[in-house]
Amino acid sequence: MPKTQIREEELELHGHSVSYRIAGEGPPILLIHGVAGSSLQWEPVMRLLARDYTLLAPDLLGHGRSAKPRGDYSLGAYAAGLRDLTVALGIDDATVAGHSLGGGIALQFAYQFPERTNRLVLVSSGGLGREVHFLLRAATLPGSELVLPLISNNRVRDAGTAVSGFLGRLGLRAGPDIAEFARGYGTLADGDARRAFLHTLRAVIDPGGQRVNATDRLYLAEDVPTLIVWGRRDPIIPVSHAGTANRGMPGSRLEVFDDAGHFPQLDEPDRFADVLGEFVSTSEPAHADAAQMRARLAQ
C-alpha cells in the first residue's frame, strides 16, 4: 500500500499566512489542535484515515507555521478563522474535531456555524468545567511574560532529561503528555509565539482555572452527532469533564481510553482512528434548522 501523502500548504487570509496539513479524499474532517500545539499532533490519525476521508489540520494563528500577529485570540475569533479557511478551501461542511483548547474552539464553531458542522468530536476538551492543570493556570499569572523565556530557551530545551523530570513531578506521564508539553513550551522562545500563547491562554484560563464554560449551551447541539474521547489518566483536564459533556449532550457517544493521558490520539492512534472512523461512517450528518434553534433558545 502506498504511503499516505500529507501535504503541508499555506494560504493568506486577511493578510496573515495560515499553514495547514491536508490528506486523503472523501467526507471532510476538520482537526483542531490545542494551545501551544500544532497540526503535527494529528499526523498519525491522518495517515490512518486518509483512505476514506479528507483530513484538514490547520496550524491555528499564533501556532506552528501560521502567522503570529497581534490580534484577537478568543475562541470566537479562532472559530471564525476556521470558517474562513474552510470556505477558502471549498469545504462547505465537515465533521469538526478538537483537542483540548481545540475542543473549546470546536464547540464555539458548532455554536457560531451550525450549518457548517456535520458532527462534533471533543477530545480531552476544554470548556467543560473549571479544573485544569496548575501548569496552565500558572502561565496566566502576572509576570509569566518574564518567566516563559527562561524555561523555553535553547539551554533548557536541550536538557531533555531535566525537562522531563520537571514535568513528571507536576504529574505529567512519560510519553505524549511530557513530549508534547516540552515541545509546546520549547516554541515559546520566539517572542511572537509567546505573546500569542499568553493571549490565547488568558482568553480561556485564569489563575483559578478555566474561565470559559460551554456547559450552559450544550443543549443547542442536541441534534449534532457527538463523539467524546478522553484519556482516563489525563493530568491536564480531568476525565470527569467527559461525563459532564456526555450528560449535557443527550445521545452523545463517550469513549474513555483507560491507559491514555491528555493526548489519546497520540497514545493510541490506531484505536482513536478506528473509533473516529466508525463514528463518522455510522452517524448521519446534522442539518441545521433555524426554526428548531429558535425554539430551543426561546425555552
**Residue of 234, 241, 252, 267 marked catalytic:** 234
Beta strands in the chain (DSSP E): 7-13, 16-23, 28-32, 54-58, 94-99, 117-123, 205-206, 209-210, 226-231, 253-257
| Number of residues in the chain | 299
Which bin fits 184, alpha (ψ -120 to 50), beta or left (φ > 0)?
alpha
Look at residue 174 in the predicted model and tell me its pLDDT: 59
pLDDT of residue 187: 83
Cα(180)–Cα(267) distance, rounded to whole angstroms?
11
Annotated catalytic residue within 100, 124, 125, 252: 100
Pair type for strands 28-32 and 7-13? unpaired
Please give the average per-residue pLDDT across 177-191, as a whole number: 82
At 71-92, the pLDDT tens digits run: 999 999 999 999 999 999 999 9
> Per 3-state DSSP, what percentage of the chain is helix, strand, and coil (rounded to 5)?
45, 20, 35
Judge whether 100 counts as a catalytic residue: yes
Its pTM stands at 0.93
Under a CB-based contact definition with an 8 Å cutoff, are residues 228 and 246 in contact?
A: yes
Q: What tens digit of pLDDT does each residue of 265-297 get?
A: 999 999 999 999 999 999 999 988 777 777 777
Strand-strand pairing, 54-58 and 205-206: unpaired
State yes or no: is 262 an active-site residue: yes
Dump pLDDT digits (tens) for 117-165. Answer: 999 999 999 999 999 998 899 889 988 776 666 555 544 444 444 455 5
Q: Are 40 and 201 in contact (CB under 8 A)?
A: no
Residue type, 193: A
Q: Cα(249)–Cα(141) distance, rounded to whole angstroms? A: 33
User: Residue 155: what pLDDT?
Assistant: 44
Query: By the 8 A CB rule, do 46 and 55 touch?
Result: yes
The SS3 of residue 69 is coil
